[in-house]
Amino acid sequence: MSFGTEQIAERISICPIGRKRGMNAVLTGIDLTERAIEHTKTRFDAFGLQSNLSVGDAENLQFEDESFNIIYSWGVLHYTPDMRKAVLEVYRVLKKGGCAKVMIYHKWSVIGFMLWLRYGLLALRPWRGLNFLYSDYLESPGTQAFSVEQAEQIYLKLQRS
């Protein structure tokens, strides 16, 4: 199962899933818009890949509990308004013993420093915080970034529940 189908299309075109003898992998992916789904279907068709793609909301997944062995989300969940709810959904649909591979933005990264330099210091507004800068100036409005401690709090608490 993957979130953000456009990124997964890039990864699969480099490393095809289900092409080795004896593998029965089925890719299921969701994205927030029909346009993204159509774009991904076109790319999959170009590489002869099969998948189950649909429009969906990471905070309200339309799948049964424990539906997937592997969940892959590369730079998607930090765009959701309620990332904690989206992560709860990941754990809900992940099978016991399954594996979730998730990438979220690191707050104290070089990107954060560059945002602060450009839109804080050089804009003569050095008091602007990183939460504001990520949300207003990086990619999509509302983008979030997390410290290691914040990410651990979200994911470790959920693993225990």
pLDDT tens digits along 100-120: 888 999 999 999 999 999 999
Q: Given a cut of 50, is residue 126 above it in pLDDT? A: yes
Which of 7-21, 52-66, 134-148 has the lowest average pLDDT?
A: 7-21
- Looking at residue 111, what is its pLDDT? 95
At 70 the three-state DSSP class reads strand
> What are the strands of the beta sheet with 28-31, ordered from one edge?
52-55, 28-31, 2-3, 68-74, 94-103
* pTM: predicted TM-score of the whole model, two decimal places: 0.77
Closest CA to 3 of 63, 66, 64, 65: 63
pLDDT, average across residues 19-37: 76
Residue bearing the bigger pLDDT, 98 or 113: 113
- What is the average pLDDT across 129-150? 93
Q: What is the CA radius of gyration of the chain?
A: 18
Q: How far apart are CA 130 and CA 136, in angstroms?
A: 10
- Domain boundaries of the chain, sorted by first residue: 2-104+146-160, 106-145
The yes-or-no verdict on residue 73 having pLDDT over 50 is: yes
- CATH tag for 2-104+146-160 (out of 2.60.40.180, 3.40.50.150, 3.40.930.10, 3.40.630.40): 3.40.50.150
pLDDT at position 64 is 95
47: helix, strand or coil: helix
- What is the pLDDT, as a whole number, of residue 7? 53
Q: DSSP letters along 77-104, please?
A: GGGSTTHHHHHHHHHHHEEEEEEEEEE-
What number of other Cβ atoms are within 10 A of residue 46's Cβ?
10
Please tell me the predicted confidence (pLDDT) of residue 11. 44
Residues in the chain: 161
